[in-house]
Amino acid sequence: MRTHADVPPGALLSGRRAVVTGGAAGIGAAIVRAFATHGAHVLVADLDPLPRLEFDSGAGGSITAIECDVRALPVPAVLVEHEPDILVNNVGHFLRPPHRFADNQPDLWPELHDVNLGHALRFTHALLPGMTERGAGSVINITTVEAHRAMPGHAVYSAYKAALTQFTRSLAAEVGPSGVRVNAIAPDLIESVQVPYAELVPDEDQALWPNWSPLGGPGQPSDVAGVALFLASDLSRFVTGGTIHVDGGTHCAGGWVPRASGGWTNRARNP
């Protein structure tokens, strides 16, 4: 098991190795850049081609990629051979427009499972033995605020994300004695490929952001990447089994919005 200074000197991930699924764009790409900037050698597993991701190479980090369908078995041997200290299970998507559960086609559920839960199980199962053998590691699962609140029209998606959160807790307790930590990040209101707020929110509605989250918004992929960097580094060496909400406060607010006249309401009518 690694020894730890009170505050790690220099780059936070110097010499570490990381695997990030879905790192070609959005939140995943921001995590990849942050890790490489802090000295990690990052291997990206994505179906999409990896664009040139700019980062500060002064800490000695690097970025490489393999074309990989995370839904497929087996997990590519090159990822195991990379001997990662850090695994970020980032891939996830609700895949289609909202549908009432009663109108769902059950044959679509396996795809939702593989994208949102199954891939994290498979990748963790493949890469965890190396971490435990080396006596250290950090697994980071990207969930969503909808793992903690309702998402009408996406009941199956939110169920799988909630399961990923519980997997995080249970695995953290199981592997903690081996020196491996397991945590989750639950984003909301983050500008992303799936939810492009720059396109969805018209200019005349920009002033409404403070009504949608206590910190306003939207958040950026770099906001999630900063938390992932914390969870990957020794700064979080005593943190495991938790979920960090990167959402501008929407989860803690629980539907409460500020009134223009003062105070708060959870029954907003043009607050």
Q: Which residues participate in catalysis according to the annotation? A: 157
Q: Is the dihedral of CA 90, 96, 100, 103 positive or negative?
A: negative
What are the structure tokens assigned to 109, written together? 């559920």
Q: Rounded distance, CA 263 to CA 195, Å?
A: 30
- Residue 143 half-sphere exposure, CB side, CA atoms within 13 Å? 27
Question: What gap in Å lies between CA 193 and CA 51, rounded to an integer?
Answer: 15
Alpha carbon 186 to its chain centroid, in Å, reads 7
Dig out the tokens for 183 from the structure.
């945590």
Cis ω for the linkage preceding 218 (within 30 of 0)? yes
Residue reference for tokens 């939207």: 218
Q: Minimal CA–CA distance to 221: which of 251, 192, 196?
A: 192
Closest CA to 244 of 106, 127, 148: 148
CB atoms inside a 10 Å sphere around CB 137: 23
Task: Give me the helix-helix angle, 119-134 and 155-175, nearest 10°.
Answer: 10
Which helix H or strand E contains 88, and what residues bound it? Answer: strand 86-89
CA-CA distance, 28 to 32, in Å (whole number)?
6
